[in-house]
Amino acid sequence: MISFTSWLETTDLSVWVREAPTMFAFPFILILHAWGMGIIAGGNAAIDLRILGFAPRVPVSAMAKFYPVMWFGFVINAISGFLLLMGYPTKALTNPVFYLKIACIAAGMVLMSWIRRRVVPHDKPGFGNGKVFAALSLIVWAGAIVSGRLLAYTCKYLLGDIRC
């Protein structure tokens, strides 16, 4: 694994993300990643909390308008996340916390789609175990955010030849 990630670190894209003397490299990519996270996790949290009983006057079906925006947030995060991964591939790919983050994101996306198809159109928050899945969605999105943040502190290798 280290030999592969060390090779990735030498690619032009990886070097640019990590070392470019411009704010449009690592700092800007990180800002985009935070914005995307706020959009997707925040949108999911709003829908999940509504399903759990908060803001009962707001029809659940009215929140369907959030889904295109949340998908936009996901695209922002997929692109910015890939670029951040390319900046420090060894740091991420040798860290089990990275895989936890990816698993939480995958579970969050599955739950988001399930809730969209099975709960939101019916305007009944408790429909089809909606409350259980909304609570689970809140947990996995929080897990994705926390594990992503912990990546900065839990690495074994920063770069292929540098230990944390």
- Specify the DSSP element, H or E, that contains 163: strand 162-163
CA Rg value for the chain = 18
Mean pLDDT for 11-29 is: 95
Q: 0.85 cut: is pTM over it? A: yes
Per domain, the residue ranges of the chain are 2-163
Quote the pLDDT of residue 123.
73
Give the pLDDT confidence of 54-110 residue by residue, as tens digits: 999 999 999 999 999 999 999 999 999 999 999 999 999 999 999 999 999 999 999
Asked whether the predicted pLDDT for residue 147 surpasses 70, the reply is yes
Cα distances from 35 to residues 39, 57, 64, 115, 122, in angstroms, run 6, 28, 20, 23, 30
Asked whether the predicted pLDDT for residue 128 surpasses 80, the reply is no
Residue 28 tokens read as 């800007």
Mean pLDDT for 13-30 is: 95
Quote the pLDDT of residue 69.
98
Asked whether the predicted pLDDT for residue 47 surpasses 90, the reply is yes
